Structure 1
Amino acid sequence: MKNREIFSSSKLRITAILSITAIILAIPLVAMQFTNEVVWKLSDFVTAGILLLSTGLAIELVIINLKTGTFRTVMLVIILLALFLIWAELAVGIFGTPFAGS
């Protein structure tokens, strides 16, 4: 089965977004059970969840509204770049904003 056929339905893609978000958030939750080096508070999980869900839903909107073309690819790259830059800022503070980590 082709990837297009598997994720052709919007409901399936939204289910995938929710599942992947839950799996990613489970990684630090499980790690916290085995080591003291991972210390996340509830606010960290909420922030990460909002960031991941908003990114997934933004990607879904681009997929729904832009069928093909270079513009669609550029929009997807911009969304993913924004995710990584925000995540890095929250984690280590690469821009020095008040939201910077560490």
Structure 2
Amino acid sequence: MAGILEQDQLRRNGVRAVVWGGAAVLLLLPLLAMQFTDEVDWNAGDFIVMGVMLLVACTAYEVAARIARTNAYMVAAGVAVAAGFLTTWANLAVGIIGNENNPANDLFFYVVAFALVGSLLVLLRPRPMAWVMVATAAAQLGVFAYAWLAGLGFVPVFTVVMCGLWLASANLFRRAAGQASS
């Protein structure tokens, strides 16, 4: 039994190294690209914002790793964090609707905030987390519908991808709840 626990700890430490190392690589990629092209032009503020975003994502991984009782929970949390990260990154970088100055883009930050607040309200428990992720997908659809009907923009591909991620996370949280109860 001790050997299995040691192997599990080694695996988790290996994943931790990949998560934090991957974050460092992502942060350094623009710096490397700036050496070879003028197309990438980051300033100190850009690096700070990306560093904070990566720190939040990696910290969320650490919290999930401590809470998780199943691999399904870990993957569910990873998918949810990735969805929030990608939404925030795309919105800050170029904007989801039009450019980053379009005020309609603020609505997408509310979707991420909804997922975060909902997750905290249910104390990150797997069964209610599944419902939070379903509700987040519904919020994503609501933002799409509002933006489209108000004439602010039309982003069906982004909406389908993000709803798919939120719903995949919901399904994995539901699976994790079933595994934890059996």
* Fold shared per TM-score above 0.5: yes
Q: Report deviation, 1:9.
A: 3.8
Structure-2 separation of matches of 1:89 and 1:5: 36
Structure-1 separation of matches of 2:76 and 2:12: 21
More helix by proportion, 1 or 2?
2
TM-score normalised by the chain length of structure 1: 0.73
Secondary structure at the counterpart of residue 34 of structure 1: coil
Going from structure 1 to structure 2, the CA distance change for 1:43 and 1:79 (only over 3 Å counts) comes to same
TM-score normalised by the chain length of structure 2: 0.44
Match of 1:41 in 2: 43
Structure-2 separation of matches of 1:34 and 1:9: 34
What is the RMSD of the two structures over their aligned residues, measured on CA atoms?
A: 2.6
Q: Report deviation, 1:57.
A: 1.1
- 1:47-91 Cα offsets, whole Å, 9 max, x none, are 001101110110111111121165544333211110111111011
Structure with higher RCO (Cα < 8 A, 6+ apart): 2
Greater radius of gyration (CA): 2
- 1:27-61 Cα offsets, whole Å, 9 max, x none, are 11011111111100100001001101110110111
Match of 1:59 in 2: 61
Where structure 2 has 5 or more consecutive residues not aligned to the other structure, the ranges are 1-6, 97-103, 107-182
- Tell me which moved more, 74-83 or 27-36: 74-83
Where structure 1 has 5 or more consecutive residues not aligned to the other structure, the ranges are 98-102
* Contact 1:17 1:53 (8 Å CA) reproduced: no
Match of 1:92 in 2: 94
Going from structure 1 to structure 2, the CA distance change for 1:73 and 1:17 (only over 3 Å counts) comes to closer
